[in-house]
A and B are shown apart, each in its own frame.
Chain A
Amino acid sequence: MDNLQELLHGFTIAVTVPHLVLMVIGVLLGILVGVLPGLGAPNGVSLLLPLTFGMQPVSAIILLSSMYWGALFGGSVTSILFNIPGEPSSVATTFDGYPMARDGRPTTALATAFGSAAFGALVGVILITFLASWVAQVALAFGPPEYFAVYFLAFASFVGMGGAAPMKTVVALAIGFAIAAIGIDTVSGSVRLTMGIDELVKGVSFVVAVMGLFGIGELLVAVEEEFHARVVSSTIDWREVFRAVARLPRHGVALLRSAAIGCWMGITPGGPTAASFMSYGIARRFSRRGRHFGTGEVEGIISPETADHAAGTSALLPMLSLGIPGSATAAVMMGGLMIWGLNPGPMLFVDSKDFVWGLIASMYVGNIVAVALVLLTVPVFAALMRIPFVIIAPLIVIICVVGAYSVSNSYLDVVLMLGFGVVGYLFKKLFYPLAPLVLAIVIGDKAEDAFRQSMLMSKGSLGIFFANRLVTSLVVAGIALLLLPLALQLTRIRRKPASSADETTSQEKVIV
């Protein structure tokens, strides 16, 4: 019951006029970046990050997290109305959302999506409320080897469950680690990997990487296809909204299953995108109307949306209690935490109670604010989509350039950002996952420190990672996840030798 008391205290922090105003601003900005192709939650949040440095940490995180909720909702709006996913995580929503909207039921599609999204988010927040402080308590006893084991588990689960080709995930992760290592080494003080460029001593900021990878990269992917914003009616019929939401409990099984998938993928970290695809795939296999999926089926909207939001929300659980973000956006927010002088991880629950519970309480309120605002503003943001892409594209380029520059007033950052844009485009095009890359940049240093401290403790013996039951089971689970893709491939080869080379992942198949 302690948690509930803390939560009530959190509400007294979150439900104040300035914080409600911040939520509204955050959600509106979030819907904006969610709707605009080329701007998404990760780089929206990183754009806003430098502007929060003067704020109280709790106000800043409320602003940024509200933007995240807004972006998650905004991405679904364009998926349903225009068949253009504003966010990678809402790609799966286009499969049934757009056909339903095209059939003349846009309100039903939107209300179903928002209703199930809110349900997914609610399950995620409840999970955080009851589990986060418990996890943090367990983690308080962690030493460097346990920490490294948890990091290892997190990275291994990207490889095992992220949905992309395993070796591409490994390469993306390792590149992230290498980028994190650029600059001054915190342990020895020596300068690393600057490749002769003196200015790199300060390191490469994750904000610059995110701006390029997600901003410019996504823009390049978007410009490739001619932009056909074929508008279906975007007027909202309010009675239908309530009717659609009232019909949701009939799909209780799908809702609960998708929420469970979402929470699992958010915590472990697989991320919202993988969660929504997995949930859609599983729903198609198990639903009685699975054959009708793709033609505007209700459960085809419920499943990805619920999982997307459940994953997006629960991605904050490991960020708060362990210091391991569960998604790219959570990684950016965690970078923010460190800049504000907070130490993400179990100590947050001891040192900054107000911050943690204020944030958790704001997640309940913020999601309600987001559902209300997104329904009210659908026509406005739908109209925004009629602005030609040729005008929006250069403006987004300028926003990314200025954003990268303002991180540390460095021109080199702008050039790096453009380079990251090319990498982001290539990676997206070839299905290299971007989230693990960003994650590794943000927590690479911490993972390395944990490894080196463990080595100091054991005088160089790897045996320390098998020293007690906790650390052994974490490491073994991580190794199992790393080997999972290999094992799956072997069983597939044994079953049908002919098509064994089929490595395209489910996500890739769906997109191709």
Chain B
Amino acid sequence: MISRRALELSTAILTGSFGVAVVVSSLDNGIGWSSAGVDAGTFPFLTGLVIALGSLYNLVRGVLPAARLANVPIALTSTELRRLAGLFVPAAIFVAAIPLLGMYLAATAYVFAVLAIPRHQSVLRSLMIAVATPLALYVVFEHMFQVTLPHGAIVAAIGL
């Protein structure tokens, strides 16, 4: 279970660290005024500062008065968390597999895995949908719109 407060906190920390990273990184470009006008780093520096300070504000508001968020103490129950992971983890694995397997193989494996392994669909139907997906992708992208999708290291190694 994840509380609303924990979620608010981690989001504020996430945005805040992005802000700090922007501030630090824009210092390299120089901030302030030079002969060529406003330096390249000035604008990002200011936005980074706003992000960091705003996140700090959100962080404090998220922690301090508990009464305000009391009506939604739990942001995520464990069932919801499991459902989320059930969607996101396979999707992340799919994306990670693209450089190796290529878009088509990875998509086939991904669709088949999500449909067949939790037994949402029969193996045969999962297989049909899994094969139809890359075929549709191939027709739409490589044929109709001439966009080459990545074919992957394995296919390249075989030499297709």
The interface of chain A, by Cβ under 8 A from chain B, is 50-51, 165, 167-168, 170-171, 174-175, 177-178, 181, 185, 187-188, 190, 192-195, 216, 219-220, 223-226, 388, 390-391, 393-395, 397-398, 401-402, 405-406, 409, 411, 414-415, 418, 421-423, 425-427, 429-430, 432, 448, 451-452, 455-456, 460, 501-504, 512
A223 in contact with B26 (CB, 8 Å): no
Interface range on chain B (Cβ under 8 Å from partner): 35 or more
Does B75 make an interface contact (CB < 8 A)? yes
Q: Are B137 and A178 in contact (CB under 8 A)?
A: no
Contact: B87 with A398, CB < 8 Å? no
Please encode chain B, from 108 to 125, with 1 for each CB lying within 8 Å of some chain A CB and 0 for all others.
001100110010110000
- B71 A512 Cβ-Cβ under 8 A: yes
Q: Are B120 and A456 in contact (CB under 8 A)?
A: no
With A397-B94, A430-B11, A501-B67 as known contacts, state yes or no: A406 contacts B54, CB within 8 Å: no
Within 8 Å of chain A (Cβ to Cβ): is B105?
no
* 9 nearest A-B pairs in the assembled complex, by CB-CB distance: A171-B54, A174-B50, A177-B47, A188-B40, A390-B120, A181-B44, A185-B40, A456-B37, A174-B51
A394 touches B110 (CB 8 A): yes
Chain B 121-160, CB within 8 Å of chain A: the 1/0 string?
A: 1000000010001000100010001011110000000000
Could you tell me if A193 and B95 are in contact, using CB atoms closer than 8 angstroms? Answer: no
Q: Which residues of B contact A175 (CB under 8 A)?
A: 15, 18-19, 47, 51
B37 cross-chain contacts in A, Cβ below 8 A: 187, 452, 455-456
Q: B63 within 8 Å of A by Cβ?
A: no
| Inter-subunit contact B44/A167 (CB<8 Å) | no
Find out whether the CB atom of B38 lies under 8 angstroms from the CB atom of A193.
no
Interface majority SS (helix, strand, loop, mixed), chain B? helix
Q: Can you list 17 contacts pairing A with B, beta carbon distance less than 8 Å? A: A51-B145, A171-B15, A171-B54, A177-B47, A187-B40, A192-B29, A193-B22, A195-B25, A216-B91, A220-B84, A224-B83, A394-B91, A394-B110, A406-B145, A414-B95, A456-B37, A460-B33
Chain B residues with CB under 8 Å of chain A are 4, 7-8, 10-11, 14-15, 18-19, 21-22, 25-26, 29, 33, 36-41, 43-44, 47-48, 50-51, 54-55, 57-58, 61, 65, 67-68, 71-72, 75-76, 80, 83-84, 86-88, 90-92, 94-95, 98-99, 103, 107, 110-111, 114-115, 118, 120-121, 129, 133, 137, 141, 145, 147-150
Q: Give CA–CA (A402, B14) in the complex, Å.
A: 27
Do residues B25 and A193 form an inter-chain contact, with CB atoms below 8 A?
A: yes
Minimum distance in angstroms from B5 CB to a CB of chain A: 11
Closest chain B CB from A154 CB (angstroms)? 16
Q: For B95, list chain A residues within 8 Å (CB).
A: 401, 414-415, 418
Is the beta-carbon distance between B7 and A398 smaller than 8 angstroms?
no
- 8 Å CB contact of A402 from B50, B51, B76, B141: B141
A219 partner, pick from B18, B21, B87, beta carbons under 8 A? B87
- Which chain A residue shows the least CB distance to B87? A223
Asked if A395 and B21 sit within 8 Å, CB to CB, the answer is: no
Residue in A174, A187, A188 whose CB lies within 8 Å of B47: A174
Q: How far is the CB of B63 from chain A (nearest CB, A)?
A: 13
The CA-CA distance from A448 to B43 in the complex, in Å, is: 7
Instruction: Tell me if A391 and B121 are in contact (CB < 8 A).
Output: yes
- Given A192-B40, A405-B150, A398-B55 contact (CB < 8 Å): no
B25 touching A390, Cβ below 8 Å: no
Which of A174, A223, A411, A504 is the one whose CB lies under 8 Å from B68? A504
- Across-interface contacts of A190 in B (CB, < 8 A): 29, 40
Kindly state the separation between the CA atoms of A193 and B7 in the bound complex, as whole angstroms: 27
Q: Would you call A398 and B137 a contact (CB within 8 A)?
A: yes
B51 touches A178 (CB 8 A): yes
A405 pairs with B149, CB closer than 8 A: yes
CA–CA, A429 and B6, complex, Å: 12
- B139 to chain A: closest CB distance in Å? 13
Contact A391 B129 (CB under 8 A): yes
**Contact assessment for A224 and B68 in the assembled complex, using a CB-CB cutoff below 8 Å:** no
Asked if B98 and A414 sit within 8 Å, CB to CB, the answer is yes
Q: Is the CB of B26 within 8 A of A192?
A: yes
List, in ascending order, chain A residues with CB within 8 A of B83's CB: 223-224, 226
Of A418, A448, A501, the contact of B91 (CB 8 Å cutoff):
A418
Interfacial chain A residues near B55, Cβ < 8 Å: 171
| B72–A512 CB distance below 8 A | yes
For residue B129, which residues in chain A have a CB less than 8 angstroms away from its CB?
391
Q: Which residues of B contact A187 (CB under 8 A)?
A: 37, 40
Report whether B111 and A503 are in contact in the complex, using a CB–CB cutoff of 8 Å. no
The answer for the CA separation of A178 and B141 in the assembled complex, in Å, is 32
How far is it, in angstroms, between the C-alpha of A393 and the C-alpha of B91 when the chains are bound? 10
Q: Which residues of A contact B148 (CB under 8 A)?
A: 409
Q: Which residues of A contact B29 (CB under 8 A)?
A: 185, 188, 190, 192
Are B43 and A181 in contact, with the CB atoms below 8 A? yes
Q: A171 with B58: in contact, given A178-B22, A178-B51, A429-B75 (CB under 8 Å)?
A: yes
CB pair B68–A394 under 8 Å, yes or no, is no
Given contacts A223-B87, A402-B103, contact A501 B41 (CB under 8 A): no
Given A188-B36, A402-B149, A411-B99, 10 more contacts at CB 8 Å? Answer: A167-B54, A175-B19, A187-B37, A195-B21, A219-B87, A390-B118, A394-B91, A395-B111, A398-B107, A512-B72
Question: Inside 8 A of A401's CB, which chain B residues have their CB?
Answer: 94-95, 98, 103
Closest to A193 in B: B25
Contact check, A181 vs B47: say whether CB atoms are below 8 A apart: yes
A175–B58 alpha-carbon span in the complex (Å): 14
Taking CB as reference atom, which chain B residue is nearest A399?
B137
By a CB distance below 8 angstroms, the chain B residues around A390 are: 114-115, 118, 120-121
Which of chain A's residues has its CB closest to B71's CB? Answer: A512
Given the interface pairs A170-B50, A402-B103, the reply to whether A430 lies near B68 with Cβ below 8 Å is: no
Q: Looking at B38, B145, B149, which has the most chain A CB atoms within 10 Å of its CB?
A: B38
Chain B residues near A168 (CB-CB < 8 A): 54, 58
B54 x A170 contact (CB < 8 A): yes
